[in-house]
Amino acid sequence: MAEAEGAQPGVHGADLDDLRDAARDRAVLSEARVMLARRLGVPPGEALQHLIWLARDLDMGLAEAAALLVRDGGGGSAGAVLAGRRAPRAEGGAAERRAALSEVEDVLRRVTAEDTAGDEEILSRVPEDPMAQAVLDATLDSSAHLVPVRGPDGNVTDFLYVALNEGARDMFGRGREELAGQRLLQTDPGTVQSGLFDDYIEVLETGTSLERSSIPYTTAQRGLSRSSRTSVRCVAVPTGICLTWRYHHAEDRTVRRLERVERLALVGFGEWDLATGEADWTPQMLANYGLGPDEVPPSPHDLPKAVAEDDLPLVEEAVQTMFSRREPVEAEHRVIGPDGAPRHLWMFAEPVLGDSGLPVSINIVSQDITRRRGVERALAETRRQMLKQQERMAQERRVAVTLRRAILPDEDESERLPGLVTAIRSLAAESTARIGGDWYATRALADGRALFAIGDAAGHGLPAAAAMARSRNGLLGLACTGEPAGRLVGWLNELVGTMDPTATGTAIVAVFDPGRRVMEWTCAGHPPPILMRDGRAERLEVVRDPMLGAVTDWEYTTITTQLELGDVIFLYTDGLVERRDADLDDRINRLTDILQDSSTRPELVLDEVLARMEHDRAADDTTLFAVRVE
C-alpha cells in the first residue's frame, strides 16, 4: 500500500482531527481559566471552579463553556476587588525568646553541676507545716511547698520541692511524683532569667507576699524549651514559701485563634456599653470601617455617618430597629475607605437587654465581603456575556442545519445513476453543536458514466457546513469536464485550500463506466471503501493521498477497480466507525464483518449496518452510501 507524502503510515486523517480537537480543547480550557482569573481577580484554580459552575449553570460541557468565554474575548473587567490580605509573618519576639532561652540554658548548666548530696537530709529535717498544707489544699491552680537550700555563706542558692498539690503541673507536664524532692532551678531554670528567683528569696526573708500576673515566661529542660504567659503568687510559710502558678496556654491559643479567624475571614467584633458610652472594637472591626488602631469607634447613633451616602437610610433603619423594637438586625452596606474605594460590609448587631428590658449594651459583628461582591459582579457579567455568545452560536447552528438541509438532496430523491442501484443514509448529529460537514454527491455524466462521491469537511457548525457546501458544489461543477477522478480531486483540493476561512476535509470520488463495469476512484484521506462480492467483504486497497486542503499542488492518484455484476461498494464517513474508546482499524474490521454477513440489497445493507455498528450519533454526523452494480 502506497503512503501519501505529508501523512504518517497508519494514521488516518480523522485521527489527526481527533488529536487536534483534544489539543485545542486543552488549550482553550487553559486560556479560559487564565482569562476568567484575570477578570475575577482570583487565582487560576479558583477561576477553574467558577468556570465549572458556570458550565453547569448554563447546561453545557466544560470545553464548550471555555470556548464561549474565549470566543467572547474577555469582555473587560467587571470590577472585582481583592481584599488586601497577605500571608502573615511569624509572630514577633523571636530574637528575645532566643536570648532568654540562651540565658536559661546557662543557668541549667550551672545548677546541674552543683552537689545535691545533702538534699535528702534537708528534707528530712523539715517539720510539719500546717500553714503550707492549708495553702496546698485550698488552691485550685498548681501549688507547691518549697524550702530553701543555703550555701556555705548562708545565702539561698536554690529551693527544694517538699510537696505539691494533686493538680500541680509544671510547663513540661510533670506533677508531684516527678518534682517532689527536686531542686527548683534544676527543674525550672527560667525562674532565674525571669527574676522570680530573687523575688522568692525576698518573700522568704521579708515575709511579704508576691503576686505577678500574666508575665512572659520561658524555661528549658533536656534540650526542650517552653514559653507561655504565666501568673505567679508566692507567700511565706513557717518552713519556707508556697508558690501558686497558672500557665495561660489555653487562653493564649484561644486569643491567637480568634485573631487569626478575624484576619482570615475579615470578621471584626465590637461592643458598645450604653451606660458608660465606651466602645470596645477589635483591630479588624476598626479596619473594616476604615479606622486606625488608635481612633475612637463611633457610637451606635453615629454609625450611619461612617457608611456610604446611598446606604445611609438602610443603616439608620437598622439602628432604629435595635433601639425601638429591641431586636437583632443585619444589613449589608458600604463604607468609603481611606483610598476612596468603596468597601462592602455585612453587619450583624444585637441589643443586650437589662432587667428593665431596656438595652444596656450592643454587640456588633461585621465582615468585609468586598472581594465576594466583586467576584459575584464579575461572574454575573461573565454569565451574561456567555449567554449572549451562546445565543449567537445557537443561531449559527440553526443556520448550519438549514444550510445542510438545503444543499443535500433528500435520500429518496437522489439522482438515478446508470448501471447502479444506490441507497443513502445521511444522519445529522443529535447535538446541534456537533453538526459537521458530511456530504455526498451523485451525477449522471453526459458520456453515460456515473459519478458518486462522499466527503467530510473538518470541524463542526456553520464553518463546516459552509465548507461542505463549497466542496460538494465545486465537485459537481468540475464533474462536467469529464476528467478522471484524480484530476477532479486535485482541482477540488486547490478549491478547498483557497477557502476563507481555511478548511480541510476528506473525500472519495468515483466515476463508474457501466459498459466496462470499471470504477475509477480517488481517496483523499477518507476511510477506505469496502467491496462486497460473493458473500465476502474486504477493504479496497487505497493510495493514501493527503486530505483536501492539506497540501497544495498535489497530484492525486486515480485507482482503477474492475467490478462484477452484483458487487456492492459501501462508502461511509468517520462518524460510523470512530469512537474515542476504540481503535479505528478494529472498528473498520467490525464493519467489514457485518457487511460480510449482510444482504446485497443496498437499502437492507444500510439498515443492518446502522442497527449493529452502535455508532455515537451524539458525537458526529454519519453518512452511509451503498451502490450495487446492475
CATH of the domain at 462: 3.60.40.10
Cβ neighbours of residue 285 closer than 8 Å, sequence gap 6 or more: 268, 269, 270, 297, 364, 366
Please tell me whether the peptide bond between 283 and the residue prior to it is cis, using omega within 30 degrees of 0: no
Q: Specify the pLDDT at position 237.
A: 96
Q: Is the domain of 467 the same as that of 336? A: no
The answer to whether residue 379 is domain-embedded is no
Q: Specify the pLDDT at position 523.
A: 96
The answer to whether residue 207 is domain-embedded is yes
The count of residues in the chain is 630
Q: How far apart are CA 342 and CA 321, in angstroms?
A: 25
Q: Are 319 and 304 in contact (CB under 8 A)?
A: yes
C-alpha cell of residue 318: 437598622
The answer to whether residue 333 is domain-embedded is yes
Q: Is the domain of 362 the same as that of 414? A: no
Closest by CA position to 62, among listed 89, 36, 94: 36
Q: How far apart are CA 437 and CA 459, in angstroms?
A: 7
Per-residue b or e along 54-89, where b marks 16 or more CB atoms closer than 10 Å to that residue's CB: bbeeeebebbbbbbbbbebeebeebebbeeeeeeee
Q: Is the domain of 292 the same as that of 326? A: yes
Q: Is the domain of 195 the same as that of 273? A: no
Q: Cβ atoms within 10 A of the Cβ of 3, count? A: 13
Q: Are 182 and 161 in contact (CB under 8 A)?
A: yes
pTM of the full predicted structure? 0.50
Q: Specify the pLDDT at position 428.
A: 78
The answer to whether residue 429 is domain-embedded is yes
> Which of 215, 248, 281 is the C-terminal boundary of a domain?
248
Closest by CA position to 586, among listed 192, 12, 159, 158: 12
Q: How far apart are CA 103 and CA 220, in angstroms?
A: 10
Q: How far apart are CA 237 and CA 133, in angstroms?
A: 10
Q: Are 220 and 101 in contact (CB under 8 A)?
A: yes
The answer to whether residue 24 is domain-embedded is no
CATH of the domain at 342: 3.30.450.20
Q: How far apart are CA 271 and CA 300, in angstroms?
A: 10
Cβ neighbours of residue 525 closer than 8 Å, sequence gap 6 or more: 4, 7, 12, 13, 506, 507, 544, 545, 546, 547, 548, 550
Q: Specify the pLDDT at position 624.
A: 94
Q: Indicate the helix (H) or strand (E) that contains 273.
A: strand 267-273
Whole-number CA gyration radius for the chain: 44
> Which of 248, 264, 291 is the C-terminal boundary of a domain?
248
Q: Specify the pLDDT at position 385.
A: 84
- The alpha carbon of residue 42 and the mean position of all alpha carbons in its chain are separated, in whole angstroms, by 11
Q: Specify the pLDDT at position 431.
A: 59
- Residue 323, helix vs strand vs coil: helix
Which residues constitute the domain of residue 301? 253-373
Q: Is the domain of 479 the same as that of 358? A: no
C-alpha cell of residue 602: 443496498
Q: Is the domain of 434 the same as that of 560? A: yes
User: Domain tally for the chain?
Assistant: 3
What single-letter amino acid sits at 61?
A: G
| Secondary structure, 3-state, 347-399 | EEEEEEECCCCCEEEEEEEEEECHHHHHHHHHHHHHHHHHHHHHHHHHHHHHH
Q: Indicate if the alpha-carbon torsion angle 335, 338, 343, 349 is positive or negative.
A: negative
C-alpha cell of residue 219: 524555661
Q: How far apart are CA 66 and CA 566, in angstroms?
A: 51
Q: How far apart are CA 630 and CA 515, in angstroms?
A: 11
Q: How far apart are CA 356 and CA 14, in angstroms?
A: 84
The answer to whether residue 387 is domain-embedded is no
Q: Specify the pLDDT at position 81.
A: 46
Q: Is the domain of 589 the same as that of 614? A: yes
Q: How far apart are CA 88 and CA 30, in angstroms?
A: 31
The answer to whether residue 211 is domain-embedded is yes
**What does DSSP assign to residue 140?**
S
Q: Are 366 and 347 in contact (CB under 8 A)?
A: yes
Q: How far apart are CA 619 and CA 456, in angstroms?
A: 14
Which residues of the chain are under the pLDDT cut of 50?
1-14, 77-84, 92
Q: Indicate if the alpha-carbon torsion angle 47, 48, 49, 50 is positive or negative.
A: positive
Q: Is the domain of 470 the same as that of 577? A: yes
Q: What are phi and psi of 194, to 5 degrees?
A: -80, -10
Q: Specify the pLDDT at position 593.
A: 94
Q: Specify the pLDDT at position 79.
A: 46
C-alpha cell of residue 260: 487569626
- Residue 499, helix vs strand vs coil: coil
Q: How far apart are CA 352 and CA 273, in angstroms?
A: 10
Q: How far apart are CA 561 and CA 240, in angstroms?
A: 119
Cβ neighbours of residue 509 closer than 8 Å, sequence gap 6 or more: 451, 453, 475, 485, 488, 489, 492, 521, 522, 524
∠ CA 622-626-628, rounded to 5°:
180
Cβ neighbours of residue 575 closer than 8 Å, sequence gap 6 or more: 427, 429, 436, 438, 615, 616, 617, 619, 620, 621, 622, 623
Q: Is the domain of 427 the same as that of 471? A: yes
Q: How far apart are CA 550 and CA 187, in angstroms?
A: 85
Q: Is the domain of 568 the same as that of 622? A: yes
The answer to whether residue 619 is domain-embedded is yes
> Which of 314, 347, 373 is the C-terminal boundary of a domain?
373
**Burial of 116 per CB tally in 10 Å (0-12, 13-18, 19+):** middle
Per-residue b or e along 563-602, where b marks 16 or more CB atoms closer than 10 Å to that residue's CB: beeebbbbbbbbbbbbeeeeebeebbeebbebbeebebeb
Q: Is the domain of 241 the same as that of 322? A: no
Work out whether strand 559-562 and strand 359-368 pair parallel, antiparallel, or are unpaired: unpaired
Q: Is the domain of 355 the same as that of 417? A: no
